[in-house]
Structures are given as structure tokens and as C-alpha cells.
């Protein structure tokens, strides 16, 4: 069974840092590109980062560029998101998610349950 389990969220002061982790099981992480997507409570979904299977291609959303950094360790079946310079507007549930590709199309086929980041003094 495919599972993605996020951890590392919590309460942090503005300007602070956190490192989110996502542990994958039930599949070989090194075969898949991965995403981080966040969701402000009660609001919609916002893509924030993408990392290819071998880390050769990395994208960050403009809203987090220069502050957040995605990385991965395939040997540890883990995905990471380093959050620096946190702001109140970064308060959200953070999901790691798996990229799915087929001849019929592309999508995000598995999502973790999320880890909540709260930025507040």
C-alpha cells in the first residue's frame, strides 16, 4: 500500500524555520517525481514545490522562492521541505504528493495526510 507520511510541522514564530519530512512506503521513491502542496485551513490548494526523481529538476512557486527549499534522499525514501523566513501567510497544512504519469495524462495520484505549520507570535 502506497503511503506518504509527513512530519515536522508545528508552531513557529514569524521569521523562524522548520524542516518538513515526508516518508514514503509501499513504492520505490526513486522512480517518482514529487510535489509539496499546501492548503490554508478552509481554503484551496496551492502548489509550492516540485522535485524530479533524481533531483535534477526543481521548481518552487514564486510565493516561496528564496525561502523554501525542496530536497530528497531516495536511499532513505524521504522528501524534505526546508522552510525559512516564515510568515503568517505560510500558515497551512503541507502535503507531500506523488506525481503520476501515463499515456493518458498526468496528475497527483497519492497524497499524504499533511502536517500543519502555524506561524504566529
Partner 1 sequence: EIVMTQSPATLSVSPGERATLSCRASQSIRNNLAWYQQKPGQAPRLLIYGAFTRASGIPARFSGSGSGTDFNLTISSLQSEDFAVYYCQQYNTWPPITFGPGTKVHI
Q: Tell which one of 35, 36, 68, 94 touches partner 1 (CB under 8 A).
A: 35
Positions in 53-82 near partner 1 (CB under 8 A): 59-62
What length does the chain have? 121
Site map 78..107 versus partner 1, x via CB under 8 A: -----------------x----x-x-xxxx
Task: Choose which of 45, 52, 69, 118 interacts with partner 1 (CB under 8 A).
Answer: 45
41 binds partner 1, rule: CB under 8 A: no
Question: Least CB distance from residue 25 to partner 1, whole Å?
Answer: 16
Nearest to 114 by CA among 102, 100, 97: 97
Under rule CB under 8 A, residue 27 binds partner 1: no
Nearest approach in angstroms of CB 75 to partner 1 is 26
Closest CA to 94 of 5, 2, 3: 5
**Residue 43 phi, psi (nearest 5):** -120, -170
**Is 45:36 a contact under the CB 8 Å cutoff?**
no
- DSSP class per residue in 69-94: EEEEEGGGTEEEEEE-S--GGG-EEE
Sole binder of partner 1 in the list 81, 90, 94, 112 (CB under 8 A): 112
The sign of the CA dihedral 55, 97, 89, 85 is negative
The binding site for partner 1 (CB under 8 A) comprises: 35, 44-47, 50, 59-62, 95, 100, 102, 104-114
Amino acid at each position: 500500500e502506497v503511503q506518504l507520511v509527513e512530519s515536522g510541522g508545528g508552531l513557529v514564530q514569524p521569521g523562524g524555520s522548520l524542516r518538513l519530512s515526508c516518508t514514503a512506503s509501499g513504492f520505490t521513491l526513486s522512480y517518482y517525481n514529487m510535489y509539496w502542496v499546501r492548503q490554508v485551513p478552509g481554503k484551496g490548494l496551492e502548489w509550492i514545490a516540485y522535485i524530479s526523481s533524481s533531483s535534477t529538476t526543481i521548481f518552487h512557486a514564486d510565493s516561496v522562492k528564496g525561502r523554501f527549499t525542496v530536497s530528497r534522499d531516495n536511499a532513505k525514501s524521504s522528501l524534505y521541505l526546508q522552510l525559512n523566513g516564515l510568515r503568517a501567510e505560510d500558515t497551512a497544512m503541507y502535503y507531500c504528493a506523488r506525481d503520476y504519469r501515463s499515456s493518458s495524462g498526468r496528475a497527483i495520484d497519492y497524497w499524504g495526510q499533511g502536517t500543519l505549520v502555524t506561524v504566529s507570535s
